[in-house]
Chain A
């Protein structure tokens, strides 16, 4: 079953650029894959470990700026910069978590929000390094892959870039899924449900929270590195705190605590606003309204809606087949 789903996902990724030929939609697809990474990373922190992180944009921004600066200022090869950016974001997440390990709920929410404000302001004001609000331009795409005997795969081609980012998104999904199904995932949900009981079973809650924060933040760092090399320009306002709220909306509307939910949430919330461009500013009003309605009436998000639909279908089918 899982293998079938995996193959279906791989086939979907392979097929999608064929259907969307113009570069505008191909660009959106890559942004979509980046958002999937951000959403599953945040879901691991929020949905599995129950840590109210409102500062995910900070880790995204750290990954983007770290990889770009390593490449442009220190001539680091792309993939090494990519790995270092992931590590740095992960360490930043762990640092914030250690800082906030005594805090729960709202205190952590405000602390992470404050952390995101600090990171954004540092990016804006550390002009000698980040060029502040002027931004960094002409960031190169990842280097082309030239395997012997095969045509060169250049990532300046939007379809190839999409395959690369979507491939990594799938890889991170599988890794997080594996983690969530392992005893580690059970440990994290135990902490989420009842920290005191978890501690009484000998679980080191603080260490596991730091771990979850580090993993989720590192995935956001990878998303940042891809974002920079894909878009080609970096400005601090791409990592403003409202970006955290957008990622949060993807996780909530998709269904937190499941991994497939945030994937759907990220896809829908990236594509839908593009389709609603004709509505102008009204689309963000609808967006806010949808977020509110989802929390009020469907707090489990699309994952819950899918379960309900499946149960309903099952009931209808059973009703049609008597006995």
Chain B
């Protein structure tokens, strides 16, 4: 039994760290713009397809394909901001950009459906079947080891960027107070663009690593994004530390519900937790001084 518990713990952390990558992008965008981006789901999906085609059609290295997905994601993030969020910024509505991104998401999903077809892609990375034995009968595939390693490294780099560099400081300043930051000589438009590029690069990478452990269809991103929204709320909108904790927590909850209760109930458990969180502690696990929406 303890082997099962440990094994599911490892699996939970694998999924959790990918959820963190995807949810961090949403939370970064929310922190700076106070807007929700539904097209984030399709950045994840397109990242996964970019990695698939780079690896299997062009014969590239899977590890390099994660970088390719990062670039594809970043480009798409730039596009989403330039086409939707930048033109709608003056309107100051919380509803319009959200609906426009739903439209963009419907557009992208069905464009992918035309290009890639509805049949799931068998995306076995070269590391999917290589197993590393661990203590007490547990094991981990190299693919999952790559997921944990790359995610941890990326999250650490993002954290260092936000806390240590001048750019990161400027970004946090814009998130705190856009007008004042503008008066201090920071160009908020540039930084909002940068946020979208970083956030979507994370989502693209996440997609490249999710591809091999998920059913890869044009709609793959949607299932992940709905969970990412739950994670962002459980962790506290705009809160990076909270998002990391909540992402890992959701990964573990899913993994243990699947093993110990019933695989069909995972979403019900996660979203009931979300509603409970909203009712009891709407500021998230780690409260921040952002009260305007609560």
Residues of A within 8 A of B (CB): 52, 99-100, 102-107, 109-111, 113-115, 117-118, 121-122, 124-125, 241-242, 245, 248-249, 252, 280-282, 284-285, 287-296, 299
Contact = CB atoms under 8 A, between A and B. Distances in A.
Interface of B: 30, 34, 36, 83-84, 87-88, 91, 93-100, 102-111, 113-114, 222, 226, 229-230, 232-233, 237, 262, 264-265, 267-268, 271-272, 274-275, 278-279, 282, 293-294
Contact of A281 (B104, B113, B229): B113
Contact of B279 (A99, A109, A245, A248): A99
Contacts of A287: 106-107, 110
B103 A292 contact: yes
Contact of B267 (A100, A103, A109, A118): A118
B110 A107 contact: no
A127 B175 CA distance: 47
B96 A295 contact: yes
Contacts of A252: 99
Nearest to B229: A110
Contacts of B279: 99
A106 B229 CA distance: 10
Given A105-B94, A296-B88, A281 B114 contact: yes
B interface, over-half SS: helix
A222 B213 CA distance: 41
B229 A289 contact: no
B294 to A, nearest CB: 7
Nearest to A297: B87
Give the 10 A-B CB pairs with smallest separation, nearest first: A291-B103, A288-B107, A288-B106, A292-B103, A284-B110, A125-B264, A295-B100, A114-B271, A285-B110, A114-B274
Contacts of B114: 280-282, 285
A106 B237 contact: yes
Given A249-B102, A292-B83, 17 more contacts: A105-B95, A106-B34, A106-B36, A110-B230, A110-B232, A110-B278, A113-B229, A114-B226, A115-B271, A118-B271, A249-B103, A288-B106, A295-B97, A295-B100, A299-B91, A299-B93, A299-B96
Nearest to A280: B114
B103 A114 contact: no
